[in-house]
Amino acid sequence: MSDVGMIGRMKGGVTGALATTLLLAGCATAEMGGAGAAGGDVAGSAAARRFEAVRTSPPELRAFLYRMPKGADLHSHLTGAVYAETYMRMAADADLCFDVKGKTLVAPTAQAPCDAKAGRPGAAAVIADGVLYPVALDALSTRDALPVSGYSLHDQFFATFGRFRAAASSTGDLLAEVVDRAGRQGERHVELMVSFGTGPAAAIGKAFPWTPQAAADLPGTADRLVAAGLPALVAPARQEIDAAEARMRSVLGCGTPAARPGCAVSVRYLQQVSRTQAPGPVFATTLFNALLEAQEPRVVGLNFVAPEDNPVALDDYDLHMRMVAEAKRRNPGTNVALHAGELTLGLVPPERLRDHIRKAVEIAGARRIGHGVDVMYEEDPQGLLRTMAARKVAVEINLTSNDKILGVSGKAHPLPVYRAAGVPVVLSTDDEGVSRIDLTNELQRAVEEFGLGYGDLVGLARASLEHSFLPGDSLWSAPGCTPPVHEDACRAVTERSEKAQVQWGLEEALARFDREMAGTP
């Protein structure tokens, strides 16, 4: 498993010192992050006092939040989480070229080798060029990107993925960067969106003749796609994960005295489905991802990706939700987190804003919604919010991404609406490399734009682990593991539940952080 050192370190059980600390703090309740979950158990703590002392000083606030223990980043695309500088180094190592006109990394061919005079300098030469290197970094991210006529930040954001794709071949190296960044910020867990084995699965779907009958009879279509060879793709995909994690551990030095912080982070994967493909590849990939999750514990769910405003994604949205529902019917343990409501007025006609979140929840059975920005444009938004709160469907809020892609921020953002309605909320990064951010930055935006306090941030951190797809009971499900804390009761749930173990690690870290803020060892 990739959560090197995390579980083994916790299995010794909880400590009396921590139990005392949590007793004084007052443990969290089972539901975090909704209305009223302001983390009142930390009011008056040394960490809360220090937070109030620095909250109006952005540099000091940044330093405080960077050190603050965090829960999980549940919405992060692996390739989009890697910085452009890394892609350029990887491109140089692989002898790739940079197509200056297309602003894209490309592999050289006999007919088109790297040639600066032809507008395709080698990546190593670009790095050494003080003029071209900034151009390349801007092309592979939203660094210094400005909206111009005919080309928006939305377009720039999504264009970057094709531009750096040629350099993204070593998944293990990508994992090492992203997981180590998480560890250095005190994150306990990440769920990264990846595509292990999805290419062959999509190829099976592409070869399938899609007809109106295929769409009308999804169970029968699923039977035929599975019979075409989807189960045989599971073993190679698991081998891909093995190889990627072995490379990640090697780069991070896990298991050695020089192990880097990422070695302590719990890592799981959400398999991606590209929603801009034809129906055959979409359905085949969805079914394959559910099959892989059923047999591979490191894969904990699936998600649909690519621009939600793409014409294919819009036209096939209802069909896609039915496909997810069929995959869940065949594999009832499938976890689903869906991009839904990553839209706003002007990006699409208002008629397209009426029901994506509701259908993701009610038809596809999503347990988490990514973005959810257009919730108040939906029909009966208050009823939808009540449904989400009652079903504990969490919303993954990506503040910087929503600002850059949709132009939605500050008072226009529905974050306070979700919280007031009691809908579970978590903060996440989306594509921290493309956006040039990290999770600490998103916490800081939440403080500065929405006035969140230290207790709110603790509640959001706890919510992120509560709504992770880690297996096992929640720490807070044990009757005795609530104020006042009983050490034996907490130990019972941590010994049988991986989720509880990671949650307990966060509580340990929060207790240590508070002692540090008090100036004690």
The continuous run of DSSP H or E covering 74 comes out as: strand 72-77
Tell whether 96 and 163 lie within a shared domain: yes
> Which of the residue ranges 68-82, 135-149, 427-441 would you say has the lowest mean pLDDT?
135-149
CB burial class (10 A; 0-12, 13-18, 19+) of residue 521?
Answer: exposed
pLDDT at 486: 58
Tell whether 119 and 216 lie within a shared domain: no
In a domain, residue 451? The reply is no
Tell whether 226 and 280 lie within a shared domain: yes
pLDDT at 491: 84
Tell whether 187 and 245 lie within a shared domain: yes
Tell whether 152 and 220 lie within a shared domain: no
pLDDT at 26: 38
Tell whether 158 and 13 lie within a shared domain: no
Tell whether 149 and 186 lie within a shared domain: no
pLDDT at 27: 36
Domain end residue (candidates: 132, 149, 167): 167
> Which of the residue ranges 85-94, 175-184, 316-325, 479-488 would you say has the lowest mean pLDDT?
479-488
pLDDT interval class at 485 (50, 70, 90): low
Domain end residue (candidates: 167, 189, 208): 167
List, for residues 397-425, the tens digit of each pLDDT value: 999 999 999 999 999 999 999 999 999 99
Q: Is the pLDDT of residue 87 over 90?
A: yes
More confident residue, 508 or 33: 508
In a domain, residue 311? The reply is no
More confident residue, 378 or 39: 378
Tell whether 153 and 181 lie within a shared domain: no
In a domain, residue 200? The reply is yes
Q: What residues have CB less than 8 Å from 369, skipping those under 6 apart?
A: 337, 338, 340, 341, 357, 360, 361, 388, 393, 394, 395, 396
Tell whether 246 and 152 lie within a shared domain: no
On whether the CB atoms of residues 119 and 99 are closer than 8 A, the answer is yes
In a domain, residue 435? The reply is no
Tell whether 118 and 21 lie within a shared domain: no
Which neighbouring-strand residues pair with 336? Answer: 302
- What is the residue type of 489? A
Number of domains in the chain: 3
In a domain, residue 493? The reply is yes
Cβ–Cβ contacts within 10 Å for residue 346, how many? 9
Q: What's the chain's length in residues?
A: 521
In a domain, residue 421? The reply is no
In a domain, residue 432? The reply is no
On whether the CB atoms of residues 418 and 40 are closer than 8 A, the answer is no
pLDDT at 147: 62
Tell whether 298 and 191 lie within a shared domain: yes
Domain end residue (candidates: 285, 304, 323): 304
Tell whether 228 and 104 lie within a shared domain: no
Dist CA 175 CA 171 (whole Å): 6
Q: Is the pLDDT of residue 132 over 50?
A: yes
pLDDT at 488: 72
Dist CA 205 CA 398 (whole Å): 32
> Which of the residue ranges 4-13, 277-286, 436-445 would you say has the lowest mean pLDDT?
4-13
- What is the residue type of 154? H
Integer-rounded Cα radius of gyration of the chain: 23
The continuous run of DSSP H or E covering 337 comes out as: strand 337-340
Q: What percent of the chain has pLDDT over 70?
A: 90
For the chain, the average pLDDT equals: 91
List, for residues 154-209, the tens digit of each pLDDT value: 999 999 999 999 999 999 999 999 999 999 999 999 999 999 999 999 999 999 99
Dist CA 480 CA 23 (whole Å): 12
- The domain in which residue 77 lies consists of 73-82+171-304
In a domain, residue 16? The reply is yes
Q: Is the pLDDT of residue 31 over 70?
A: no
pTM across the whole model: 0.92
pLDDT at 43: 81
